[in-house]
Amino acid sequence: MADTKIPSPQDIKSGPQKFTEEELKNLRELQARTNQLTNNFGQLYLAKNRIEEQESILKEQLSSLQKEEATLAKSLSDKYGQGSLDIETGTFIPAE
């Protein structure tokens, strides 16, 4: 392994210097990994937004379903009174 002289700050300031191929390779690899992470963050952000939109839609559907259920329950209660229903057989048993 040959001794490579590390340039002093004075040497660097005195003129342009070339990075070694290994240094350039390391810098390019870091840049590529940074770009990949940035891309992954962007994809994650978009996926998160889609999930939040889906959650909002599902919450609206649940709220609508709960209102529909309450309306039906009131209608059946007004018609049959208080009691319990066996939904499998359709048998209503009035409360005593």
pLDDT of residue 52: 98
The answer to whether the pTM exceeds 0.75 is: no
Is 38 part of a structural domain of the chain? yes
Structure tokens of 63?
A: 């709220």
Is 4 part of a structural domain of the chain? no
Distance CA 4, CA 7 (A): 9
Half-sphere exposure at residue 72, Cβ-oriented, CA atoms within 13 angstroms: 6
pLDDT of residue 4: 75
Is 86 part of a structural domain of the chain? no
pLDDT tens, position by position, 32-63:
999 999 999 999 999 999 999 999 999 999 99
Number of domains in the chain: 1
pLDDT tens, position by position, 9-26:
776 666 777 889 999 999
Is 75 part of a structural domain of the chain? no
CA atoms 43, 48, 54, 56: torsion sign: negative
Domain that holds residue 64: 19-70
In contact, 17 and 11? CB cutoff 8 Å: yes
pLDDT over threshold 90, residue 72: yes
Is 8 part of a structural domain of the chain? no
The angle subtended at Cα 76 by Cα 84 and Cα 64, nearest 5°, is 105
